[in-house]
Amino acid sequence: MKHHKAISNAVKAISALAAVALLSSCGASNSQTSSQDDTESSEISFLYSPYADYAPFFLAKDKGYFEKAGVNVKLIAKGGSSGETYQQVSTGNVTSGGASWGAGLFNAASQGASLSVIASVSKIPESGKNPSPFVLSTKSGIKEVSQLKGKKIGIPGPGGFGLYSVYLALQQSGISLDDVELVNISPADTPTALANGSVAAAWTIEPIASKVIAEGLATEALDVDYQAGTELGTLVFNSSYADEHADSVEKFTAAYLHAVKELNDGGWDDSSNQKIIAKYTELPVETLKSIGLTVQDPTGAIDWSDVKKQEDFFRERGSLDYDGSADLEKLQKQEILSNAQQQESTIWKD
């Protein structure tokens, strides 16, 4: 954030004292107004979901990284989907937020919504435990994904990452979305649907995924490789705010990247970090230690080729309101991300 400097005129003539006094008075008033504006612009409201994906933001807030970078941040938990984030951020009701890629973001971007992409927030890991696995209902008796033809599969909605994830799982197993019946089920209702057999399989997300598997309601259908490296979440800012207060966005992003580095360097095993994350996710620390986790790139880089694949998928599904590509890479404020990377190195150089 740039602060306006007070303008001083070295006027020596006694006859100009009155004018100087007037100018000084106006300068003081303008300086005070500017200071107030800067203070207001530095308060960034960030809309998040209470999932471990957002752990870097939780640490940056509670460990004072945002404050050290020079921004005042208010974290706001959301109750809805990524569509809520796009709407709230684009209209300026909140400054920024994190949301998954999907038809909603692609359509909003094509329609000129005031949304700027800053950095990647989460990706599916290349190996290890899957944070959003495709599971088979134990009650169904089905053992292989290829046996799901004609069966009901639970998804969280028709235009988001959950559907794309299921598509990837079925594709790897030689069947398509057209071979199954898709049923919209919220993540919270998925355990019940799996338990009573109303769906034969479902997309899940942690910690629900680990819960249904531990309770014997479902089994994980595939290893993570079918969706390894997929871009899941992104950091978006209101475009008008990002244009007018680029320095504040850079500082916010620098603090976020610092927290990502901390977690990647073993911070997930730190008990104080675990308590902070548990507070925001409302999960016991022991649960956090056992669930599958998404990964964050310490540089904030986005794999745009993967985002393009997701856009192509939703176009083929008829979920997009436009023809051709939305040229999504133009949404990113790459200069802000580059400057944030430099600021992170400078602020935390020790």
User: pTM (2 decimals)?
Assistant: 0.85
Class of 134-227 per CATH? alpha beta
Report pLDDT digits (tens) over 30-67.
Answer: 333 333 344 444 689 999 999 999 999 999 999 999 99
Q: Measuring CA to CA, which residue among 206, 165, 161, 156 is closest to residue 186?
A: 156
Per-residue pLDDT of the chain (350 residues; tens, 9 = 90+): 333 333 333 333 323 322 323 223 333 333 333 333 444 446 899 999 999 999 999 999 999 999 999 999 999 998 766 678 989 999 999 999 998 999 999 999 888 899 999 999 999 999 999 999 999 999 999 999 999 999 999 999 898 999 999 999 999 999 999 999 999 999 999 999 999 999 999 999 999 999 999 999 999 999 999 999 999 999 999 999 999 999 999 999 999 999 999 999 999 999 999 999 999 999 999 999 999 999 999 999 999 999 999 999 999 999 999 988 888 898 999 999 999 999 999 999 86
Report pLDDT digits (tens) over 242-286.
Answer: 999 999 999 999 999 999 999 999 999 999 999 999 999 999 999
CA angle (205, 210, 216) in 5-degree steps:
125
Cα atoms in the Cβ-side hemisphere of radius 13 Å centred on 184: 4
Enumerate the H helices of the chain as residue ranges: 17-41, 55-62, 65-69, 82-90, 103-110, 161-172, 190-196, 208-214, 239-244, 246-264, 271-281, 285-290, 304-316, 334-347
Which pLDDT value is given to residue 79?
Answer: 75
Residue ranges of the chain that CATH labels 3.40.190.10: 40-124+232-347, 134-227
Architecture field, domain 40-124+232-347: 3-Layer(aba) Sandwich (3.40)
Which pLDDT value is given to residue 32?
Answer: 36
How many Å is the Cα radius of gyration of the chain?
A: 24
